[in-house]
Amino acid sequence: MELTNRPRRLRSNPTLRKMVRETRMDPSSLVYPMFVTEGSNKKEEIPSMSGQYRYSVDRMEEKLIELQNAGVSSVMLFGIPEEKDACGSGAYAEDGIVQKAFRKAKEACPGLYLIGDVCMCEYTSHGHCGVLKGQDVDNDQTLELLAKTALSQVQAGADMVAPSDMMDGRVAAIRQLLDANRYENVPIMAYSVKFASSFYGPFRDAADSAPAFGDRKTYQMDFHNRREAKKEALLDVAEGADLLMVKPAMAYGDLIREIKDLTNLPMAAYSVSGEYAMVKTTAAAGFIDETNILCEMAVSAYRAGTDIYITYFAEELAKCMKEGRIG
């Protein structure tokens, strides 16, 4: 048979397959989400996220060094306070749990790049992402507290802040306060397209942040909506976001690609707790190969346009990249 085009020619040898690979990855693009809790000498496994832990500040160094040794250079910190109140004051307290964690991380591993998740849900007694007015979050009143939270994290050592609350106007409010305090060079990675997703369940267990009533559908996005996702991303660009994020990652590759092409800003994707838990539990049952699956999930996100991949599998993926299994 006379065939001019034979695509299999470029698949005939492992060296050639890697040479013509279209999607390339590097451990520098990985971000590990880490939970820090009050107390001392704590390393508590999260029941719904096998292999993931809450660390007290005095125990976090061991994990940070482990990540660095694997090649992971960026960490996003989430704080779990001992006490909560209606206005989430622990989120912006100078001696708050996440602020203490940033100081410790900077001291222990100064080479790590530290990112602060800016939200109120872990710190409010009602579990919602801002100050309540009746049964809903008061958008404009919450903006001031989010900006204060971002500023307090930067003052404690955060290199970047990432607002995840989905309040209207929060990027502008944070940018204005950071600039006013001479932090004009600190970038904002906006959770621009964050859906009200069932994939978040294990995180709420990990961070003790489940809403005491209702849900978050009045501020997080309806996952049916594509045009709204583009609108949210463009609003954050106009307000001064330096990087954008789509969350979750696995089911939203179409929007990762579309928003990357639309905005031309660096694109992050968060492979969330539900994605992690599904892989771990299914692998534990012997139904899938865990390493192959987590690699394939990562490649799908990068192929869609991800530049920064936030994942609980960061350490494992860094090792796979170094070994040449992916990347």
Q: Which residues are catalytic?
A: 194, 247
The answer to whether 120 and 170 are in contact (CB under 8 A) is no
CA 130 to CA 136: how far, in whole Å?
9
CA 65 to CA 214: how far, in whole Å?
40
CA 171 to CA 238: how far, in whole Å?
9
List the structure tokens of 319: 């090792």
Per-residue burial over 215-253, b if 16 or more Cβ lie within 10 Å, else e, is ebeebbbebeeeeebbebbebbbebbbbbbbbbbbbebb
Q: Is 33 helix (H, G, I), strand (E, B) or coil?
A: strand
CA 24 to CA 327: how far, in whole Å?
5
The answer to whether 310 and 33 are in contact (CB under 8 A) is yes
List of E strands, the chain: 30-37, 43-45, 53-56, 74-80, 113-118, 132-133, 136-137, 160-163, 189-194, 243-247, 267-271, 308-311
CA 176 to CA 178: how far, in whole Å?
6
